[in-house]
Structure 1
Amino acid sequence: MLKIGCHLSNSKGFRNMGIEALKIGGNTFQFFTRNPRGSKAKAINEEDVAEFLKLAKENNFVKILGHAPYTLNACSADENTRIFAKEVMEDDLARMEYIPNNFYNFHPGSHVKQGVEVGIKYISDMLNKVLKPDQTTTVLLETMAGKGTEIGRTFEELREILNRVELSDKMGVCMDTCHVHDAGYDIVNDLDGVLEKFDNVIGLNRLCAIHLNDSMNTLESHKDRHAKIGEGFIGLEAITNIINHPKLKNIPFFLETPNELDGYAREIALLKSIYK
């Protein structure tokens, strides 16, 4: 079974996102935990959560993925921004426990000319403050394209963060296909080699989710511009290989392509048709 979903708006609640996912052929979805470019979060509606959990169980949903806002930068040079990041993640993780045993993904952040080492220390320090022994949510570091001073452009940078997190069993990685391609990992011509590298540096047991996107830019461009499936420099053949790779095919895939719901429905149908 292909574990597939897309990014949905959480403006109408969890149950509605579950219904939309089913309508487009999905069995999971990703959502922003709050305004992606702000700080406000909707109040949790426990009745809505209960209805979603029932719907998810009845329809064999796999783990869903909460996404932190883009404004969360745990390694900013500005102390207030780092405090904001900690407070947001702490609140988000408490809210995620209403839908237990799922994933929460965040961009490691940009060190803003402080240096990678300083940035990694800030990120790991924050994680050591917010992670709790009894939480059921797995927090995922996202692989990044390497724009500017982004941390997470290499597997080694993510590994270093994981090494410094005390509750490392609460951590995993979300691989973004556009990002790793733009960062310089050749998933088109050497997927096996890239996965071997990931396994040697981080461990494939840490790979919990994949953002499945094509790329508008060439290998090692460090641009991070997503394209529709089969319409970019990664291409449909490589994406076919990714979703069918024996080391990846049982991981949930989340589309972040430039689409509305009808476009996502077409992409999910296409991916199901090439899934073996």
Structure 2
Amino acid sequence: MVAPGAHGLRRAGPGEDFWQYRPATHGDTARSIDWRRSARSDSQFVRDREAQTAQTVALWVSGGQGMAYAGAPHRPNKGARAQLLALALAMVLLRGGERVGLLGQPARSGRMQAERLAEGLIRAAPAKGDEDAPSPEALRPNQHLVIISDFLTDPSWLEALLTRAAALDVRGVLMQVLDPNEENFPYSGAVLFRSLSGAVRHDSRDAAGLREAYQARLAGRRDWLRAQAEGAGWRFGHHTTDHAPALALSWLYQVLEG
């Protein structure tokens, strides 16, 4: 279950959650005294609440042409699943009073923002080729960033992005979305592999013979992504399109809450 809520600032201020007791001082009104706590002592105490604020979350979903891949007619393509996760996460965050926007666009709160985000995701122009990456220049100080991609193309752009993110105190999440065929590599015999853009092609006479090397390379890519994320104080997760999106949504929300 995903339960949205406000975020504590670990200091006294306006909010609903208890923060700490402190001795009453000059200027505290009778209404602010916690008489039950004060009755256990010779002094009077005030019950402070924790200051709370909304966080600002930016979303970026890859539009690389490879995101249009689906390995079976009954499964959504990666791009559709990524958009679903982004929009569902946005709706949960907005319901909790957060400010949310697509990276490079204003982050707002409120019900109407969900409609703007849905329209923005649907109307986003796909990349001209397989490569796609968010611009480090679009980052804003102290925001959270959620990046959803298959991360199957050259990921070297991530280092520059995370360097700038650290300078701006931006924390975030990397979510890799793959089709089960890309996870398990169930191919055998003669297979022609090509990217959806047609830029990359590989003609194999024995696809099964590539499985072990492919899976080792995929594991290596994930290890690299996880190391990059953790080194910057970010988190890395992955999701396949044959799994329930609610599982990935819950994980994303919990990471942002933490």
Question: Normalised by the size of structure 2, how large is the TM-score?
Answer: 0.35
Larger Rg: 2
* Structure with more strand by fraction: 2
